[in-house]
Structure 1
Amino acid sequence: MVASNQENFNNEELDDILRKHFTNNFRFGYVTIDGTTMPKRFEDLHEQILNFEVNEDDVWICSFPKTGTTWTQEMVWMIMHDLDFEGGQVNLGQRSPFLEVSAIYDFRNLMRNNKDFVPPPFLQDSLKFVKEQENPACIKTHLPFHLLPLDIQSGRKNPKIIYVARNPKDTCVSYYHHSRALEGYTGTFDDFVRLFLAGKLNFAPYWDHVLRYWEKREQSNVLFVKYEDMKLDLPGVIRKVASFLGKNLSAEQVAALSNHLSFENMKNNPAVNYEMVTELNKKFNLTRHHGAFMRSGTIGGYKSQMTPEIVDRFDKWTEFHTGNTDFSF
């Protein structure tokens, strides 16, 4: 990672924060692979993912964590399946599997120590589960472009890719609460900010992630979507995504899907709100903090949590990484 000239990162100190506050009974350390921070378990999946056989009929939903991925997944799956609301009652992790989730939640020790614990297949062996999907599949991944299957990186295969991005300040706050509630982070918000800015969180550095996909946005198989646009004009984004997927939706269908995708409906929908994972956390005491997967979903929510000093650090960091690009939120 190229560090901002406004930030001095002590990698040894940050690695110690990760070990102390972000290692638990389903996360056993971290590695850096081609410049990207990943859970140590990812080492076992890396080559398999690079050599993953890609089907061009599939749709890949790519994003940095906590940028509107679940929202986009549900929208895309519904459009692909002609607004099958009944079929949509099946858990989203089964309908739109998360390619590398087995690296995020490594349940092998928990399964050995609790013989009655059998996680669903899409959590237990996510690569196998994705490979067994019927085509066209709707695949989620948080991997940066350079860790995607070589079929995609090389252009040998060109499945449709929908990338969703969100303002980094809101992303950081949402990622912090998510990490406390679902991934076992026990440190402070200030330390989490330091990890975020230094690229020391899973799938980071953030700007490397976003800008590599932004560079691909003119390709015919790539659609770049911003979370803020979804919040401000969800029907318009639905129509844009439907067109990209070759689907025609009536005004009534757009209205029905917009209602289905409202924050309140998503938050109260057990098929998409990660209720199953939060219940697992409570049952096995996997995390110290328990909270909802979907918290507020607002634009600018960072203002209630970030100090002016942190906001200034983010703004300078953003300018450093985007100043020579045409990207902005």
Structure 2
Amino acid sequence: MTTQREIPVTYEDQGHFLHFGRVLLVKPGETTLPIRYKRFANIIYNFDYRRDDVCLFTFPKSGTVWTAGIIWAMTHMEELERAKTESLNNRVFYVDNDFIQTFKDQDHREKLKKLCPDAKEEDGVVLQLAALEKGRRIIWSHLPFDLQNPDVLDKCKGSRAHRIQQHERSSYNVPQFRKLQRVLLSHWPSGIVEGKIPAGT
């Protein structure tokens, strides 16, 4: 059995933000996340990645859905018709869905119950579905590398994920992203300017 590692982070309460409820500033990474993240922090940090996984880790609102769709199409050339009738969320694993807000996707819940009747939804519907998937997985997250399994770049298609991330860091890093929020979104609630808006929204 793999030893479970404790994620080395600290949390600072940032108060309430809209429908997300209480949000936390998570360090390292300087990432604002819903308080629900604390329940999944160690599960994500110890998530068992595989050699054939394709991981897409990006900043929010940077073309992730578009990129995930392209990656799925490139790795499923014989199944392209599925894209016409099946949501992208049913073809890739967006693990942040488990903590961004209360999980409401009934299709995912029913699939988990069918695959594993004893599974508990509070342990993460998407995370458990990803663990149960026998085929190649496309896993997407807006969490920074500091909050991911430290082995992710060694185990899965990490070189590609790493190059994408390094490019984004050089051209669109966190301070620049926050500055952009302040300049372009100054008419939004003050919580955005104060850094309370949760990552992934």
* TM-score (norm: length of structure 2): 0.66
Task: Select 2:90's aligned residue among 94, 114, 123.
Answer: 94
Higher-strand-fraction structure:
2
Instruction: Find the counterpart in structure 1 of residue 6 from structure 2.
Output: none
Match of 2:33 among 25, 30, 38: 38
Query: Which of the numbers 37, 47, 51 marks the counterpart of 2:46?
Result: 51
Aligned to 1:129: 129
- Aligned residue for 1:29, secondary structure, equals strand
> Is 1:29 aligned to 2:22, yes or no?
yes
Greater relative contact order, per chain length (Cα 8 Å cut-off, separation 6+): 2
Matched to 1:46, the amino acid is A
Contact 2:181-2:193 at 8 Å conserved across structures: no
Shift of residue 94, structure 1, vs aligned partner = 1.0
Instruction: Quickly say closer, same or farther: Cα 1:192–1:118, change in 2 above 3 A.
Output: closer
* AA aligned opposite 1:194: V
Query: For 1:136, what is the secondary structure of its paired residue?
Result: coil
Match of 2:198 among 192, 202, 210: 202
Give aligned-pair identity as a percent. Answer: 23
Structure 2 unaligned runs (5+)? 1-11, 113-120
Count of aligned pairs between the two proteins: 162
Query: Within 1, Cα distance between the matches of 2:101 and 2:189?
Result: 24
Is residue 143 of structure 1 aligned with residue 143 of structure 2?
yes
* Aligned equivalent of 1:119: 106
Residue matched to 1:301: none
Paired letter, 1:157: K
| Cα distance in 1 between the residues matched to 2:135 and 2:94 | 15
Q: Contact 1:58/1:135 (CA < 8 Å) preserved in 2?
A: no
- Of structures 1 and 2, the larger Rg is shown by 1
Aligned to 1:77: 72
Equivalent-residue separation in structure 2 for 1:72 and 1:132 (angstroms): 24
Which structure 2 residues correspond to residues 235-274 of structure 1 after superposition, within 5 A? none
- What is the CA–CA distance in structure 2 between the aligned matches of 1:131 and 1:52, rounded to whole Å? 8
1:184-199 paired onto structure 2 within 5 Å: 188-189=187-188, 191=190, 194-195=193-194, 199=195
RMSD after superposition: 3.5
Given the two structures, how large is their TM-score scaled by the length of structure 1? 0.42
